[in-house]
Structures are given as C-alpha cells and as structure tokens.
Structure 1
Amino acid sequence: MASFIERVCLHLLLVLSVSQSITQAVDRSNFKTCEQSAFCSRQRSLKPGQSSYRALLDTLELSNSRLTLQLLNNNNKVRLLLELYRLQGNMTRVKINELKPIKPRYEVPDVLITDPPTEPMSVMAQDEHGVVLSLGGENRRLFVNAQPFRLDIMEGPKVLLTMNSRGLLAFEHLRIRKDTISHKITSTVGSMWDKIKNVFSSSKDQTDTEEDGKTEDMEKNNEDEASDGAEEKKEKEADQPGMWEETFKSHSDSKPNGPSSISLDFSLPGVEHVYGLPEHADSLRLRNTDGGDPYRLYNLDVFQYELSNPMALYGAVPVLISHNTRRTMGLFWLNAAETWVDVSYGQGSDEASQTNVRWMSESGIIDVFIMMGPQPADVFTQYASLTGTQSFPPLSTLAYHQSRWNYNDQEDVSTVDQGFDEHDIPYDFIWLDIEHTDGKRYFTWDKNNFPQPKEMLQNLMNKRRKMVTIVDPHIKVDSSYKIHNEIRSRGYYVKNKDGGDYEGWCWPGNAGYPDFTNPEMRSWWASMFAYDQYEGSMKNLYTWNDMNEPSVFNGPEVTMHKDALHGQWEHRDVHNIYGLYVQMATAEGLMQRSGGMERPFVLARAFFAGSQRYGAVWTGDNAAEWGHLKASIPMCLSLGLVGISFCGADVGGFFKTPSAELLVRWYQAGAYQPFFRAHAHMDTPRREPWLFGPDNTALIREAIRQRYTLLPYWYQQFYHAHRTGQPVMRPLWVEYPEEIATFSIDDEYLIGRDLLVHPVTDEGSTGLMAYLPGNGEVWYDVHTFQRHDGAQNLHIGVTMSTIPVFQRGGSIICRKNRVRRSSSCMENDPYTLYVALDPLGNAEGELYIDDGHTFKYETDKQFIHRRLSFTSNTLSSSDLSPDTSFPTVSWVEKVVILGAQKPSAVTLTSDGRETSVEFEFDPDTAVLTLRKPDVKAAVNWTLQLH
C-alpha cells in the first residue's frame, strides 16, 4: 500500500498531466509504437517469403460443413489445427489454433450473436499438392495448397482472396521455459537493494511456482512432436527481448507462458481501396502503412488525440472492408487482444493492383470470417448476421443533447434548461459528468449541489425532457462506499498477477476495476440501476459509460496491466472487449429497471465488434479545431461500415475554446450526424448556444431545428439499421459501388439512401465543391429546391447560414415542420412529405411510426410501416406491415413535390371518399405544394394529379 505522501504526489502528477493535456497535443511517449511493442516488432521482422508451414493432407477430415487439417511448422515441428467452415450467407470461417496447447488459448465469447449456421462443403479434387473444396455451385471454390500452406478463394477464373500468400502466418505456441532462466528481483523494502540475479539451470528449479501439471503436459506434447519425427528440438529458439517479460517506461509485464502472438496475411487482387479498422482519427480509405506504423487496435484513453495517425484510440473493431467496381468483401478478425494491422497497396503477380493486409495479435487464436459480399449491402448483412445489428434507440435520443463537464448544481441545470426555452431552441437531454457524484462515487449524488435529484428530474419530465448521468467502471476504494464493499465482498474485482484486487488511479483516486468479463459481475452491476438501488434515479434518467477502455491513469499506456487477471484469463487476452462488457451490463440494467419494457440508452467511449447492440459511441476527447471537425466525418463513416451507426463527435470540441465560426459550423455538421451532442471540458468557457451573440444564436437555433424536422427520417433509418445492419451514415460508394469518383470521398456522405450532406468544415469558407453521384440521377437542394444533375462536381457558394444538403431524385422524405421544445412534444404532430421526382417522374419512400421508446414494436407488433409511392402522377400510401398496428393520431398536413409540373386539379381518395385538394405551383422552382390534405398517416390513400 502506498504511503500518504506517495498518494498525494501521485495525485498531483495526475492532475498536472491532465491539465497539461488541455493545452498540448497528446504525449506520444506514453503510447507504444510497433517497434516498442515486443510482439509487433517480432512479427514485423518476419519478411514476406515462403511460408514455414505446410498442410498435412493425410490428416484431412471433412464432415458435412467442417474441414479440419493439421499444419506443421517446418522450423520447430509444432502442429496447428486448421478448421474451415462454409457459413450461410456467402461467408467462410477460418480458425487456427495449437493442436495441443499446454493450456487453452482465449477464444472470444459473447460477440457472435449465435453459432453461425453452416452449409455443406464437398471435396472437388485432391492430390499430393492440395485439395479443392466447393463453396456452392460450380463457380466458387476454395483451394488449399499443401506446401507451402496457402488458401485461395476463387469465383470462376478470378482469385477473390488469398490467405498466407506472402507466407506471414506465424503462431507463437505457449511453452514453458526450458533453457536457463534469469529472474530479476528488485526490492524497495527499507533501503534500496542492489539488483539480485538468480540463475536456474532448468524449469524444474523455478521458484515461480508453475501450475500443477504444466510440466507433464509439456512432456506429453514433446513426446507427440518426437513421434512426428522431430529431434529433441531446439525449443530453445533464441529468446528475443520481450518474449518472457516486457518493460515499457516504468511498467513491467510478466508473461508466464512466454510469447503467444499470432499473425496472418491476406491478399486481395484487383483491390485499391480498403476501409474500416476503427477507431482512428484518419481518412476513410486506409493508408499504406509501409514505412510507418501499422494501424493499432488497442482501446486507450488518449488525451487530445492527433489526426492522420494510426495510433490506437478508445475503441477497436477488427473489421476491414475491401471494395472495387466489381466486388465488396469483408474480413472480420475475431480477437480481443492488442492487434496491429499492416495495409500495403501494390501489384500482384500479374502486375494488376493488389492490396495486402496483415493482422498481428498478441494472444488468442486465429478466428477470421471472410465475408464475400458481393455488394456492399451484402457485406453489411453478413456482418450483422454474425455480431448483430444496431440497437433501436428511443426516438428522443436522436434529438439534441446538451452537456458539459460539469453543470455545477441543480440551479445550474434549471438555468440552462430555461435558457433553451427563452431562446426558443429545442433540446431533449441535459447531461451531468463526474462532478455530480459524491466524491466520484458512482450511483450517488453530491448532497450539496444535487440534494434533490428526483425534483430536478421531475422538473425536466414536466417539460418532456430527460437527463443522462455518468457511471464509470472504476470504483473508489472506500470502506464506507456501498458499491465498493459489495464488489469486494463478492470477489468481483479484476485481480493482479499475485491474486489480490487490482487497483489503479482514476478520477476518484485509488480505484478498483470490476471484472465485467464475469457474467455474475455484469448481472450484479445491472441490478444496481434499479430505482430502489440507484437512489434519486427515475425513468427519464439514462447513462453514459466513460473511461471504459479501461482507463488507469498510473497504468502502462494509461490502461490496465496486461498480466492482471480476469478469472483464468490475462487482461492481455480480453482488453479490447472490456468496454463492450461495461456497456452491455449497463444497457441490461436500464432494461431490467423497467421490467424489460423500455429501450435503454447508453453511450460508451470504448467499444468492440458487437458494441452496436448496446447503444451509442462517440469519438472521444477531441479538440476545438477545424481539423477535428473534419475528422469527425470519416471517423463516424468508418464506424458505420462496421455496424456501429449511432456515432457522433463532441460538438464544438471537448478541449480548447472554439471560435464562434467554428462552433456554428460544428452545430451545422453535428445536426446531420447520428449522435448530436455538445460537450466541453470543465476548464473551457461556457458555450451554451445563446452565448455568442444573437446572430450566431440564430444560426445554431436553425441548425438544431433542422435536426428536429428530420427526426422521422432519422428514426426510419435507425429502424432499418436495426432490422438489416445497413449503416445510417454511409459513404457515397456504398450506394454507388461502380462510381470510382466516390471511392475516396470522406468529406461528404449519405444519410440512408436519400440525403447527401457536405458540411462546411473550412474556416472562412465562401464556397466548396460537392460531388453529386449517379449518372442519370438528379439531386435537389433541400433549402432552395434547385435541381442538379448527378455525376458532377458542383461548386456551392456558402455563407454562414449554408448547410449543403441534397435530396435524391426518386425519393420521398417525411418531416415534421412544427418544431417544439423537445421531440416528445412533437409526438402527435403532422407530417410534411417531400417528394423529389426522378427524371422519369417517379419517387418512393417510407413512413415508420411507433411509440418511440418501448419494445412493443417488437413484442406486440405495435408500429406502422407504410410505403409511399409516386408514379403516373399519383401519390399513394400503402401498408408494408399489414399484421401490425399503432394508435397514432398523426396526419399528413402538406405534400411538397419537387421537379413537378402544374396540374389542373388534385384529388384525394381515402376511406372510399374523393375530395379536392388545394395546391400552389412555383414555375421558377418547379415545386408543387399540396396544402391540407388532412389525411391520417396510418390509412391507405391516394393523391391524383390531373
């Protein structure tokens, strides 16, 4: 236990480092490069060449849908087990593990939503050189080459993907040190001792007290290897630095089973564009990492992160998507350990373009899913079938959120709330950061500043507004704190390597870290959100989980020591999935408190594959700089490509102080991104929307109001994302996969299929170039209704009020133009339909309505889903889900048709009655406005233009 003086000194250092980070860029010396990561350095030292592995074809076994085959490392004679599965939906799964490890290697649980269903495989041909398998039909085949081991997937004469073509498969097997072991023992008890080195002649003399039976297992493994014809092997392969222990700065990482990393390469012929691998503050298209660091996937708390950098950030999704004009494919590397990914663009053997991708993980097994598309939508469906779809959020969470670290007290909350009403600016959620608690004890309130939380929440509820409070996964070590006592008494804390509770420093000071990988711990955590446990909470109180990487201020790279223990597993095995488990347990808690009726809302900073099932994420502690505003677009686009649609960036920037111009532009951009929240550091000046003068207040108000009018469309897009896995915010190439001009665009994007957005992200901008895709298509400026042809670069003049947004010709978008103080107040308001005609005079769209917050849409089929269609001068509404219903009183009050011609009359047919409808036509803009059809939103009707 550290002395009082040591604690004080450490706390001062932490405070100093945090305060310095506000004004300085990230201290890169706190985070490893590949060269400083022992396993990455070792793996990267292997150069492309002939693989050391060969497939032992005589070990091949094929069941209906699973092929197993042993691989032999020619250098050390260690055998691996290769498993191949043909999965439903045009996917292939490849697993590689040690044939006989001395202990189990970690296989990631809880990410796949089910055991993926398989389809039959058959052997088409086999000889001493390899085996050919059918993957369905005559065209799709999988080739296993024996020596060197290589796997090719082909469709017809074309190679779609090659695995281990560059011979970079490397699998460091678990082992017990057999050669001379040198242990360094350093003591700081009393006066400083000299370093004492004890040398042991064999593993039998170790004083580390290895687990019973390891030596016997190793001897058995050696006997098996000997039976394969191996000599008494050089298992003494020359040890390299960092194989058995590793030091970074002042932190030491013990590795009782030595090196355990894995590596595998893939080649993608004909591919020049790959995407994914979030989270990085970088371009949408992944960069060539030759000559620099690989992309790193290792969840870290990085203060004021740098842009255009492959450094690790808060979340990690090991999914890469390749795309060219012919095909879209995906690779899902299911591994939760620290992972580095090299990407290189170049030429293949036939001098055609080729992209090579190499994955390197510190531990675990190789478990990779090859998603073969062929269309972008197919890849999204395939990935969703594995890890699930985006959770369907409450409608109000798609509205505007107001936050800062920290609103001071209940009076401050009330004043800010009233300020929105006084300035006629809508909002739905106000947020409280860590200062609202009693001394950073989560699930509590500061009794001086927030003495009556229920009264505060009730005042918000009276206005149909809500609150979010923070609950972080570090628990103050304090014997008077109920949460700490419960976790400790139940044994639910992560352990250090010696078996005691792991402790580190975070916002409360000395903190314990609950083991969220333990289902019992998650269940208990969920129970703490019950109204009788979380005192002061009410149904309009929701949650965010920050610092869930996990952040440990005095840990290596500001996170947990890798040799900490989660049951039988080291933290190195589970690091990247820890944040997912925190969000999972919290979301479960919010559902349980309502008896499973209410949809939860949980925001988390750290995430992994599958996190989309539990809520929203944001891009972390960004800065009030134009570059960070720009970066928010590719960062959220990358997340959408790998299933996480509910993404946003702190509007205005978390660190530093934005100029009025930057703040306005950020509101304009944020209003058209999925998660829309303003947030700021406690040391920055207040920046509520009305504090920058009346002109800027008006501009911000207008941006927020635009968000509210479009809430029906946003909600519809999230419904589709939940049902299908398609991203809400998507790159242009997703909808225009053959249009090469779209492949590298990451400063504009689509919301669904039908809205194209190009935010203004340059200081002092008076104009920008926007690309409108689609040869033969048309796009309409949503503000002026001006029509533009597709497949062109369009120059747009901009003023401070300009938000360039275009509606696709051929679409129908539903809006609610009566903006009120919160989305809940707009629940029964009428709709306005914007019908944008394509060159043939047709358009289609949808309208989705439910109660906006419960699971009744799922459990009781209480929703309305309607198809809107305009063809042959007739607009009609028909039921897409005839077996569902919802008692809405909403109606259609106006229809605006873009690209129209003037009719002589308009008639409405509904419930067997025909009535005439008033209309206006503007010949300058070709806009036809139908006023007051007053037709119910939930019934069949037609509007006929004569």
Structure 2
Amino acid sequence: MRSEWAEPIQSIIKMATFTERMAPVLLLWLAVCLSGTWAVDRGNFKTCDQSAFCKRQRALKPGQSPYRALLETLELTNTRLTLQLINDNNKVRLLLELYRLQGNMTRVKINELKPLKPRYEVPDVLIQEPPTEPMSLLSQDENGVVLSLGAESQRVIVSARPFRLDIMEGREVLMSVNSRGLLAFEHLRMRKDTQADPEAEKKEEADPANQAEEAVNEEEEKVEDGMWEETFKSHSDSKPNGPSAVSLDFSLPGVEHVYGIPEHADTLKLKTTDGGDPYRLYNLDVFQYELYNPMALYGAVPVMLAHNAQRTTGIFWLNAAETWVDISSNTAGKTVFGKMLDYVQGSSETPQTDVRWISESGIIDVFVMLGPKPQDVFSQYASLTGTQAFPPLSALAYHQCRWNYNDQEDVQAVDAGFDQHDIPYDFIWLDIEHTDGKRYFTWDPHKFATPRDMLQGIMDKKRKMVAIVDPHIKVDSNYKIHNEIRSRGYYIKNKDGGDYEGWCWPGNAGYPDFTNPEMRAWWASMFAYDQYEGSMENLYTWNDMNEPSVFNGPEVTMHKDAVHGAWEHRDLHNLYGFYVQMATAEGLVQRSGGVERPFVLTRAFFAGSQRYGAVWTGDNAAEWDHLKISIPMCLSLGLVGVSFCGADVGGFFKTPSSELLVRWYQTGAYQPFFRAHAHLDTPRREPWLFGPENTALIREAVRQRYALLPYWYQLFYHAYRTGHPVMRPLWVEYPQDTATFAMDDQFLIGRDLLVHPVTEEGARGITAYLPGKGEVWFDVHTFQKHNGAQNLYVPVTMSSIPVYQRGGSIIPRKIRVRRSSTCMEHDPYTLYVALSPQRTAEGELYIDDGHTFNFNKKEFIHRRLSFANNVLSSINLAPDAQFSTQSWIERILILGASKPSKVTLKTADGQESQLEFDFDASMSVLTLRKPGMNAGADWTVVLQ
C-alpha cells in the first residue's frame, strides 16, 4: 500500500457511518494503491441502454410522430406565436411558443399545456430575456401556416400533421425541426400501479384541468422499468415525478460537419453515433478518461455548430438535465471514392446531418442561430449567454502547479528555482493538501503556518498564488464553514429532507446548494480578507470536484433525487459547477470592493460559464494521445464561447518522458490557459529536473509565451467584447476551404498566428496546411515566406515549434525577459509587420492596467496599426478613452519588405526624424531600430 493513500483509507475504515454502500469506495481506493495508477472503469458510468430515459427515447422509430398542430389554437402577436400540439396517442396537449430574436435567431419552446406541477426552466444562464423582432403571418390553410421571420427572405413553415417546422431562406431549407418525427414529451402524471398517495390521486381526478392526462391509454400507463425508479449498480434512483424526458430532432440539409457539445475527449468534427452510444452531456468526475469516445466528462455545453462552405448555423439546447445527443448522416461511411462516384453519376442526394437531443427532464427550449458566417454564430450565442470574462493579464502567463507543494519551504524553493533557471512564471498553485484536513478556506497549521508571509514573499517578486476551494464541506462541528452552512439550511437535501451527505476528499461531506442565491451570496462573502484567514490580494481560486464529485454516489456524482428547494438534482445537475464558479468569482470581485478582476479555474461548467473564468480538460495522462486530444478539446470549447481553456501540461496521471514533456510545453505555450500540473503519485517535474538541454527547450517555449502576451491580451479583450474565440479551427477564418473542415492537429490564435505543434513521438517532420489562396505566411522563427493554399512539409528538431504569421498582419510582442508578466508592464514593444502580397498589413495594440475593471471606465489604449503605400501608422481607435503608458516602440520588423533609401518617423506634434535600419536581403526583412515613440501616441513611419 502506498503511504500517501494510507491515511484516507484508514479514515474511511474508521468512520462510524461506514456502511456496506461504502464498500465500492474502499475498493476503489485499494485498487489505486495496489495498481499505482488510475484508469477509467467504464462500468462505473452508464451507457444509453443503462439510462432508462435514453433507452426509451432511442427506441422510438422515425416517421411515426403522434404530434399534430391544432391550427385553430394559433395566436400571433407582433413578437410571439403560440400554438397547441396534441399527442394523438394519449391526447396530452403541449404548448409551442415561437419567437424571432434579434440578431438572426429563432427560439422554440415546448412545454406541457397544463402540467401537474411546474417543469424546470433553466435560470441564470441567459444574460437577459432575449430581445425579439416582429413576425407576421404570410399564409394559412388546413395543412399549416407560413410566417415571415422579419428578414426579407426568411420564413418558417409550420406543418400541422404531423407537426413539423422548416426554417427557410429563399428556396433553401436551413433547418427542419421534427422532420423525422422524434419529438417526444413525457408528461407529468400520477403513478397508476400503486396507491402510495390515494388522496393526491382523488384530487387529480377531481380537477378538470387534468382530465386530458386521464385520457392516457392503458399501453402507456403500463409501468416500464426505470419510469418511476431506476437502479444502477447498488444505487437506487427514486423518481417521484415519474418519467419526464423530452426529445426533439433537427435536420441540417447540405451539412456534413458538426462541432461543439463539449466536453468530450474526441475529434473536433463530431462523429455519427448510429452504431454506438450518443454523445452524453452529464458532468462527471471521470478518472483518467478514455479518448475518442462519446462518454460524458466534467462539463456540458449543449451547443452544436453546423458548417458547410455556404453557411454556419448553431443549435443551443437550453436544458441542464442529463442529455444525450444522437448524430446521423446520409454520407457517413462513404469513402472519398464513393462520394466522387456520386458526383460523376450525378447523384441527387444532398448531404444531410440529422441531430437528436434527448434530456431527462425540464422543457424544450432551443435557440436556432442562423449565422450565416461563423463570426455571426459566435456573436449570436454571446448575445444569449455572455462573453468570455476578461482575465487579468497575469492569468494568461505561465502557471506552475502540482498536487501538492508540500509546505511553505517547498513553495519558496520552487519559486527560487524559476529564478535560478531564468524561467518566468506568474502563478504557483496549491492543491487540497495545503488545507487543515481538507477544510477549505483554511491552512495546514504545521505546513502552512504563516500563509501571509508566504504570499507576501511571492508578491514581492510580482507573482501570485492560486489555492483550491472545493464545494464539498467536511462534516465537522469544529469547522466554521460547515456550522454556518448547516445552521443557515444551505446544504442540498436528500429525498427524505435531511442534509445530503456523500464522500469526497475530507471523508463525510455536505454539499452546499449553490442554486440558492442566498447560499451563493454567503459563499462569496467568505472570500473577504477578514473571513478567509491568511488570504491576500494575490491569492486566487480554483474550483475542482464541482460536477459535483461524490465518491460513493452513482457514477461518482450526486443522487438525482437529492433536492434543491423545489427541484430535484436531476433537473439541474449540469448547472452545479456553473453556480460554484459564479459564486467564487463574485467573492473575488467583492473582496476588492469591485475593483479587481477575478481569476477562477473550474473543472465543471455549462453554457455561460465563460462569464466567470477559465476551464481545463481535467485529469489527463502523460501520453502522446492526450497531448494530441488537448487541441480538439480546447477548439470545441472555444466554438461554444469558452475561450479560456487549457490542458495539464505534461499530463496529470503517469510520468512523461522528457521528449513528451518538452513537446507539451511547446504546445501549451500556444494554448489559452498554460498550466503544468501533476498527480501527487508522480515524480517531481519542475522544468529544470530533466537536464540542462531540456531545461533550455522548456525555457524557450515559456519565453515565447511571454513575448506574445500583448497579442494574447488583445485577443481576450476582443473575446470579451465580441464572443469570438481566441483559439480557432482554421475553418472559422477560411469557411469555404473544405480542406480545413475536419482539421484539428493545428489551429489559429486569432486570425494571424497559425500553430502546428509537434505531437508525435520521435517526429522528424510535420506537414502543416497553410490556408488562403493568394495569401502568404511567414515562419515566425526564420521569417521564411510560404504561399498559402498548400501542404508544407516542415523538418523539425526538438527545438521546433512550427508557428506562422499571416501576411497582412501586425503583431506586437514584448521580448525582454522578466521573471513575471507584471515585471513587463512598462517594457517596450517590438512590432512584427508581415506584409501581404499587396504589401499591406493591419493589427492592433490594446493596453490597460492589466488587472482592474477600469477599462470599463474608458481607461485603456486601443490603437490600429496599419501599413499601406509604404507608410506604417498608429491610429487611435478610442479617442474618448484616457490612459497613459510608459511603454514605447523599441523595434519594428517588416517581413516581406524591400530596401528603402531612408525611413522617416513623423510624430503627432509635427516632428520628423530619420530612423536607422537594417535590411536582410536574403529574407526580405527590414528592421527599424529604436524608433522610440510612445506606444499610446499617434505616429507614422514612412519608407522611401
């Protein structure tokens, strides 16, 4: 038995409340100790066949829809259509609501017309009630109605029997709803095979409002397995409300590529699911997850994008219950030759992808985002759920983490090691062992006896710390946090009304009900400096295990029949982590009086989580395939609003070879969230522990990250303003280039940097695809120019990080080496001007104080950098903003340039001066030395 596992195992054994149901947990711990490794046990997690509602819904056959639209019930106001649907099998009526939303979106809501009790509708995810636009009735007959959607040629056709919606533009069908007849809505009902509550049954029968429900036929009322209770392994799930699943299908004509619905360890392009399980959205703590399958992971964003060369659209399924997504395609499985044969033979079959969403409870509330461009879909989704939080600049730098740094001396030694080896870093992290017995908001009294001294020592070097605060609270009458939550009644309840308790790192734990706004407000107050002892302004927060993780729960999470006020956990499971991060971020804002931007990392997330901070891809492994999968996993998150994503550099489980570790640093340095992290059972792996050659390679990768911080920062500012992703698939910028549609081994940072990391063991070369016919790309290391629209073979060595700057762009860098980003604040800029074939280029420079919300008070610099007609100029994009900087422009490199006879600098006050320059004729690179103008000023540089 490994010594580090002895204490938790002994604590489990010693607990007085140990029961037979704890046996699986004990066995799990023992297996870990004996094997020395974690591995996912797929038997711990349900398949669709083991999830009763998924199995029921998936058994429905296409083309047999029982739903009919009752056209005589149609009501149309200026902004809203309502229409009743009836299930001809059981006579239960549904209410359809249809809205045209501003920004080229359509909202479809379907609920029971008269449910026995309210059904859950997801709160807090939408940033506002979406503004509507007018609709009008174009025509109506006994078969259906046609509505104008405001846009000149867009309309919706509502077919009556069976019910179906078609969204059209001109003659083109953009999307069809229920075209396969898989709408299903399990209405709430009283159980008929038991007299458990005869009084309630009598009351229901006496209520004429529920007579429609009484028309349910005998066949439907036959109780099937899993309708009213369900067992998985040793866990029983009581279902007091009975079956309540909802389902709807969408057809996407002309579409072969769909993306999104994270989180899954899978390719960027989603696969068809006909032959196996659907993609599952159900936040789960999955130890050392497997790759390339549709199993659920830590987060769930129910947003899918569809793309072809003509259009991009999106579907946002606003439901927080367990959800399964089926994808089928009429071109799936066809070889390239088969598709060519279709083309040659003139096959009339239009490619089509069909998608079906199935959720366990709630209502159908879906937003159809009609693009037409990728950037339009990003903006549409951002208008619904908000944009990526604008992080402090330091959070975009390098983070050093481990489970766990042992004590204050260890922290000090690691901090000193970075200085000794001249590697910059901004944040050092503390995992669960820093606490007093896994009691969050506390410090181990022996190992971290003087946390303020430790934090002050880090602050003196302009660095910061992150400490973990998890949402499972040790049940201990001597623990202030537990006593407060219990006395205020803020814990989630079990089905019998007592506080829900489960097992996690502290042993027996309670789970705060973060869906309760009073609980969230109290939690936020606990981050105040006078409440969180030992905390200071340079201490930030990490929320882990917030799926929530419950070691002895079904599928390592909470029982679905646990209770949050009026709702069951099943209704809102995927929202729990969203609320934990929301409350934590609010706490960090409040502690500074609303001045400082927070930084909070979360493992579990939902739609809208981007508003509160960063996510990472969870407990990966030190394997090459895990390095590769980090790219499509983060690309998928960026497509659905979550730009601030990264993976544990080096892999959390297992031990990387020095080659894998170096390649992971080189990849992570070009992903949005850049953090090294490792399991406590792995050997130490600070960057200098693998020999001087590897230290030098890692140092160079980290320094490349720091040099590009001005570019990363301006991209996150744009993500905050627009919702556009920071790390992008190539098809986002080249939407008509079919070669890019399934590409996920390379990516763009913004528009202007293309990265193809080396992710193969022993690689001697890579093949990078440079998009854009008529464009050029410059190798950022050698300045060699390459034409676009080609596959470029690139020989690589261990020092290679293939990165290319798009011709036509200007990228600012800070290239002086400092110990942290804060030390770089006043450093000068170097501008890299990469000329297009037309000898033009454009870029931006964004500067603010890097950490407060004062940018919202117009305290920033935002400038456009432009090169045309041999003139480089800096133009103020925000003349009403006020901010000053000490930084200046110390060097300008113009790539693809010709040699000038002279270079003149003209400043805003009319002064002119000649600039020194060098010209490298072999690479066509012009270097302007020490122009010296302030980064916030107007100026022009003229080449003659």
State the one-letter code of the partner of 1:97. Answer: N
Whole-Å separation in 1 of the counterparts to 2:603 and 2:201: 39
Give the C-alpha shift of residue 10 in structure 1.
7.0
Tell me, yes or no, if structure 1 residue 220 matches structure 2 residue 232: no
Whole-Å separation in 1 of the counterparts to 2:317 and 2:400: 37
Partner residue of 1:924 out of 918, 922, 925: 922
Per the alignment, in what secondary structure is the counterpart of residue 933 of structure 1? Answer: coil
Q: Deviations over 1:887-920 (max 9, x none)?
A: 2111000000000000000000002100000000
Whole-Å separation in 1 of the counterparts to 2:438 and 2:34: 22
Contact 1:494 1:515 in 2 (8 A): yes
Whole-Å separation in 2 of the counterparts to 1:510 and 1:223: 44
Q: Deviations over 1:467-507 (max 9, x none)?
A: 00000000000000000000000000000000000000000
Q: How does 1:102-121 map to 2 (within 5 A)?
A: 102-121=116-135
Partner of 1:698: 696
Give the C-alpha shift of residue 237 in structure 1.
2.8
Partner of 1:436: 434
Whole-Å separation in 1 of the counterparts to 2:327 and 2:48: 14
Contact 1:273 1:286 in 2 (8 A): yes
Partner of 1:184: none
Tell me, yes or no, if structure 1 residue 341 matches structure 2 residue 355: no
Contact 1:22 1:304 in 2 (8 A): no
Partner of 1:487: 485
Contact 2:905 2:914 in 1 (8 A): yes
Tell me, yes or no, if structure 1 residue 52 matches structure 2 residue 66: yes
Change (3 A) 1:943 1:20: farther
Tell me, yes or no, if structure 1 residue 319 matches structure 2 residue 303: yes
Q: How does 1:509-588 map to 2 (within 5 A)?
A: 509-588=507-586
State the one-letter code of the partner of 1:894. Answer: R
Contact 1:877 1:942 in 2 (8 A): yes
Whole-Å separation in 2 of the counterparts to 1:11 and 1:555: 9
Whole-Å separation in 2 of the counterparts to 1:932 and 1:434: 49
Tell me, yes or no, if structure 1 residue 142 matches structure 2 residue 140: no
Partner of 1:745: 743
Whole-Å separation in 1 of the counterparts to 2:639 and 2:854: 28
Partner of 1:626: 624
Change (3 A) 1:472 1:137: closer
Partner of 2:767: 769
Give the C-alpha shift of residue 51 in structure 1.
1.2
Q: Deviations over 1:723-750 (max 9, x none)?
A: 0000000000000000000001000000
Q: How many residues align?
A: 915
Partner of 1:686: 684
Give the C-alpha shift of residue 345 in structure 1.
1.2
Partner of 2:171: 157
Whole-Å separation in 2 of the counterparts to 1:219 and 1:865: 68
Partner residue of 2:597 out of 596, 599, 614: 599
Q: How does 1:533-932 map to 2 (within 5 A)?
A: 533-858=531-856, 860-910=857-907, 911-932=909-930
Whole-Å separation in 2 of the counterparts to 1:931 and 1:57: 74
Whole-Å separation in 1 of the counterparts to 2:559 and 2:285: 14
Q: CA RMSD in A?
A: 1.5
Q: Any gaps of 5 or more consecutive residues in structure 1? A: 182-201, 206-211
Change (3 A) 1:51 1:492: same
Contact 2:91 2:216 in 1 (8 A): no
Change (3 A) 1:159 1:219: farther
Contact 2:622 2:652 in 1 (8 A): yes
Whole-Å separation in 1 of the counterparts to 2:19 and 2:119: 38
Partner of 2:338: none
Single out whichever of 125-134 and 214-223 deviates more from structure 2. Answer: 214-223
Whole-Å separation in 2 of the counterparts to 1:21 and 1:162: 51
Tell me, yes or no, if structure 1 residue 28 matches structure 2 residue 42: yes
Whole-Å separation in 2 of the counterparts to 1:299 and 1:396: 29
Whole-Å separation in 2 of the counterparts to 1:168 and 1:517: 32
Whole-Å separation in 2 of the counterparts to 1:20 and 1:634: 34
Partner of 1:508: 506
Per the alignment, in what secondary structure is the counterpart of residue 608 of structure 1? Answer: coil
Partner residue of 1:271 out of 239, 247, 255: 255
Change (3 A) 1:5 1:363: closer
State the one-letter code of the partner of 1:238. Answer: K
Change (3 A) 1:734 1:221: farther
Partner of 1:185: none
Tell me, yes or no, if structure 1 residue 933 matches structure 2 residue 931: yes
Change (3 A) 1:382 1:531: same
Q: Deviations over 1:276-310 (max 9, x none)?
A: 00000000000010010000000000000000010
Change (3 A) 1:615 1:930: same
Change (3 A) 1:941 1:232: closer
State the one-letter code of the partner of 1:756. Answer: L
Change (3 A) 1:218 1:622: farther
State the one-letter code of the partner of 2:310. Answer: R
Q: Deviations over 1:492-538 (max 9, x none)?
A: 00000000000000000000000000000000000000000000000
Contact 2:116 2:210 in 1 (8 A): no
Q: How does 1:320-469 map to 2 (within 5 A)?
A: 320-346=304-330, 351-469=349-467
Whole-Å separation in 2 of the counterparts to 1:221 and 1:27: 50
State the one-letter code of the partner of 2:185. Answer: F
Partner of 2:223: 239
Per the alignment, in what secondary structure is the counterpart of residue 48 of structure 2? Answer: coil
Contact 1:504 1:511 in 2 (8 A): yes
Partner of 1:209: none
Change (3 A) 1:296 1:153: same
Whole-Å separation in 2 of the counterparts to 1:727 and 1:561: 35
Change (3 A) 1:236 1:846: closer
Change (3 A) 1:527 1:88: same
Per the alignment, in what secondary structure is the counterpart of residue 599 of structure 1? Answer: coil
Give the C-alpha shift of residue 238 in structure 1.
2.3
Partner of 1:250: 234
Contact 1:649 1:675 in 2 (8 A): yes
Give the C-alpha shift of residue 236 in structure 1.
4.9
Tell me, yes or no, if structure 1 residue 129 matches structure 2 residue 143: yes
Per the alignment, in what secondary structure is the counterpart of residue 934 of structure 1? Answer: coil
Per the alignment, in what secondary structure is the counterpart of residue 453 of structure 2? Answer: helix
Contact 1:175 1:218 in 2 (8 A): no
Tell me, yes or no, if structure 1 residue 171 matches structure 2 residue 185: yes
Give the C-alpha shift of residue 885 in structure 1.
1.6
Whole-Å separation in 1 of the counterparts to 2:644 and 2:34: 31
Q: Any gaps of 5 or more consecutive residues in structure 2? A: 1-13, 333-346
Per the alignment, in what secondary structure is the counterpart of residue 359 of structure 1? Answer: strand
Partner of 1:3: 16
Give the C-alpha shift of residue 137 in structure 1.
3.8
Contact 1:289 1:344 in 2 (8 A): yes
Per the alignment, in what secondary structure is the counterpart of residue 639 of structure 1? Answer: helix
Contact 1:22 1:656 in 2 (8 A): no
Give the C-alpha shift of residue 659 in structure 1.
0.1
Change (3 A) 1:442 1:18: farther
Tell me, yes or no, if structure 1 residue 83 matches structure 2 residue 97: yes
Whole-Å separation in 1 of the counterparts to 2:330 and 2:85: 29
Change (3 A) 1:805 1:19: farther
Contact 1:40 1:340 in 2 (8 A): yes
Change (3 A) 1:407 1:730: same
Change (3 A) 1:635 1:232: closer
Contact 2:25 2:551 in 1 (8 A): no
Give the C-alpha shift of residue 219 in structure 1.
4.3
Whole-Å separation in 2 of the counterparts to 1:840 and 1:451: 63
Give the C-alpha shift of residue 136 in structure 1.
1.7
Whole-Å separation in 1 of the counterparts to 2:32 and 2:752: 43
